Amino acid sequence: MYLTFFDSDLGRLLIAASQPQVARERLDTGLQLAQDTGMRFSDAELLRLRAHTHPGDRRADITGALASPAGRALPSSNCARSSMISNYAASRRAPPSSM
């Protein structure tokens, strides 16, 4: 019943261990299991964590997390925080605009 929750915990640990590719594979496994079984309650958290496995733009996963039904519940504050961090990082990489 809570297998997708464990996938999110394992993904978080793999990210902390600097293994983003392995973490992404585990999180994708959790998302696939959720789709196959209908256990969608942790989709938002799985997507939010998967955003941290991207080397570049994270906004697609964060937007998906916010759009999911689970994203409208408890994890939405985490998604908003991740979105702010991602937007800040993207703005730091952008070339300065000319006036």
Residue 96 lies in a domain: no
Per the structure, the complete domain to which residue 34 belongs is given by: 3-86
- Each residue's pLDDT, cut to its tens digit, for the chain (99 residues) gives 577 888 888 999 999 999 999 999 999 999 898 889 888 778 888 888 888 887 766 666 666 666 665 555 545 555 565 666 666 556 656 555 554
User: How many domains does the chain fold into?
Assistant: 1
Residue 97 lies in a domain: no
Fill in the amino acid letter for 78: N
For 54-75, b/e burial (b = at least 16 CB within 10 A) is eeeebeebbbbbbebebbeeeb
Residue 45 lies in a domain: yes
pTM for this structure? 0.61
Task: Give me the DSSP letters along 21-46.
Answer: HHHHHHHHHHHHHHHHH---TTHHHH
Query: Taking the mean position of all CA atoms in its chain, how far away is CA 6?
Result: 15
